[in-house]
Structure 1
Amino acid sequence: MKATPVLPAVAMTAVSMVLTLAVVVMWLGTAVPWPVALVVGLGIDGGWLATLAYERRLAAQGDHSRAVTGVGWFFGLIAAGVLVAHAVTADTSAYAWLAVAWLPIAAKALWLVHGLWERTALTPAALDAIQSIQQEARNEAAVSRARLRAEASTEETRLAAVTQAGARVARVQAQTAETLSQAWSTLETARKGEGTGRALTSVTAPVTPGVTARWELPVWGPSEPTRAPALEAAPALTDAALDALVDEIRHSETPALSYREMAKRFRASGHSASEVRLRAAWNRVVVVA
């Protein structure tokens, strides 16, 4: 599994080297002996392979060298240039050779992508940890959604029960009111009937002679609490009596009381006077003192 991502880069690099070697041998083989052309082709491929191996070694160590990368791209461009030059000068199959001239550049690009993949790759333990965290988060989200749905369902059931109970209470109250109304109507009809007065007179005449019996129904409706009769207001104090009472309360303690304390004790003792009269009496007593 670890070697799978690098296989496209390896395959494209091998194809590019074979094509470069073949083109160099065919292109230079007509001008120089074929062993020389073979050495030139192997030199290009060997330089490219050596820089690639060094780059891979540095990447394995977590390092990077711009010089080595530059040399590798230089050999890749040389290989691509050889293929393009051969395609341009070829008498036949020029388009076919031009179509594969991009392979060395593509191989270098694949190695670059593979290096990026290696720098971002994670170990199986880290991947398992990430998967566990994601699964835990999904579980918590599912539990939260289920809890919310359950709470919503419970609240809906409670509201429905309360609504139904309220409706039953309202129906019972309406039925009770209707029954009371019918009973009251029956009583009112009986009270106004002609036989009712004669029946009452025949019953009450021996007990209360000369008194006409009447049957009055109680009032059916909102009732008001019975209030005690209001107490008769006490006679108002004269100015002299009020002055004397204020002076007495003021000097009931030493030092003399303040107006606020005097007024509190004045009303606590059961006396009654308006605030204006009480203040005027205080002023008169204080001025005289």
Structure 2
Amino acid sequence: MRNINVKRLVTVLPAVAMTGVSMVLTLAVVVMWLGESMPKGVALVVGLGIDGGWLATLAYERRLAAQGDHSNAVTGVGWSFGAVASGVLIAHALLADETSMGAWLAVAWLPLAAKALWLVHGLWERTALTPAALDMIRGIQQDARDDAAVARARLRAEASTEETRLTAVTEAGARVARVQAGTAQTLAEAWSKLETARKGAGTGRALTSVTSRVTSDVTPSWELPVWGPSESVAALEQAPALTDDALDVLVDEIRLSEDPALSYREMATRFRAAGHSASEVRLRAAWKRVVA
């Protein structure tokens, strides 16, 4: 609350000071200017009338502002009094001698400036906030800055992590490619040597001379492996499916193989352990037929 009062004084004191100076200048000019053509008492009344009208409209405006209200008519009257006061100062400056004309023109804007300062003070009062509201706004702004900083840090960390991952994957892929290339080259060289050895003229004689002492009177035909397609092996023939009658006989034999008779789960386990094949649906249907 004290902070608000200090800020209120910052805006209201310049307006009060400029209003006082403008009223004094207006009254002095009216008395000096009109005092030459009429009694000074009458000139004083005219000056006080201008200042009084200005003060009256200003006081009414301040009362409406305190109630949260506003009147364009009162505001227009107040600006009219300010314009009259400035007009009096400008006219006096134009009719004064050249040595003092500049000085009077320099202060002729003070009434309008005072009115503008009161306008600024009114705007400040309409937009002033309590300390609690200001603290809440500062807290919201700080939370927003914190969230933005955390989001930026998270994005930077994720970007750095993704960059590290991509670098590691790229390096690993390059190493795998190099290993595969080396392995392929080694295999190619090995198969080339095997092919050269297989097609060599003295290969058979060399191998025969090595094995002739073990296998006399036998000249083996040596063939080294060849890199090429392999022949497919024929698939085993699938055993024919059991008929319903045969399946019923097997189920009944397994069920009655012990006393008391086996349960369905035990029978199914022994049925499949014996190497027989049947779907669960057919096996359960056979069990129901045998039991019935």
TM-score above 0.5: yes
* 1:90 CA displacement: 2.3
Aligned pair partner of 1:170 in 152, 162, 177:
177
Q: Which residue in 1 is equivalent to 2:163?
A: 156
Within 2, Cα distance between the matches of 1:192 and 1:91?
131
Aligned pair partner of 1:30 in 21, 26, 36:
36
Within 1, Cα distance between the matches of 2:212 and 2:87?
140
Q: Tell me the C-alpha RMSD between the 2 structures.
A: 2.6
1:38-187 superposed matches below 5 A: 38-92=44-98, 93-187=100-194
Within 2, Cα distance between the matches of 1:155 and 1:125?
44
1:271-286 superposed matches below 5 A: none
Within 2, Cα distance between the matches of 1:213 and 1:26?
147
Within 2, Cα distance between the matches of 1:102 and 1:65?
24
1:190-269 superposed matches below 5 A: 190-202=197-209, 203=211, 207=215, 209=217, 212-220=219-227, 223-224=229-230, 226-228=232-234
Q: Which residue in 2 is equivalent to 1:19?
A: 25
Which segments of 5 or more consecutive residues in structure 2 lack a partner in the other structure? 1-6, 238-292
Within 2, Cα distance between the matches of 1:71 and 1:183?
110
* 1:26 CA displacement: 0.6
* 1:21 CA displacement: 0.9
* 1:62 CA displacement: 0.3
* More divergent stretch after superposition (212-221 vs 140-149): 212-221
Q: What's the secondary structure of 2:48's corresponding residue?
A: helix
Which segments of 5 or more consecutive residues in structure 1 lack a partner in the other structure? 232-289
Higher relative contact order (CA 8 A, sep 6+): 2
8 Å Cα contact 2:93/2:102 also seen in 1: yes
- Please tell me the residue identity of whatever aligns with 2:197: A
Within 1, Cα distance between the matches of 2:230 and 2:134?
81
Within 2, Cα distance between the matches of 1:143 and 1:205?
85
Identity of aligned residues (%): 76
Within 2, Cα distance between the matches of 1:73 and 1:99?
20
TM-score (norm 2): 0.68
**1:205 to 1:34, Cα distance in 2 relative to 1, 3 A:** same
- Please tell me the residue identity of whatever aligns with 2:43: A
* 1:19 CA displacement: 0.7
* 1:205 CA displacement: 8.9
Within 2, Cα distance between the matches of 1:45 and 1:88?
21
Aligned pair partner of 1:9 in 1, 6, 15:
15
8 Å Cα contact 1:200/1:214 also seen in 2: no
* 1:16 CA displacement: 1.0
Within 1, Cα distance between the matches of 2:162 and 2:59?
69
* 1:51 CA displacement: 1.7
Instruction: List per-residue Cα deviations over 1:2-28 (Å, max 9, x = no partner).
Output: 211223322221221111011011112
How many residues align structurally? 228
* 1:88 CA displacement: 2.9
Within 1, Cα distance between the matches of 2:168 and 2:113?
73
Within 2, Cα distance between the matches of 1:193 and 1:76?
123
TM-score (norm 1): 0.69
- Please tell me the residue identity of whatever aligns with 1:108: K
* More divergent stretch after superposition (146-155 vs 101-110): 101-110
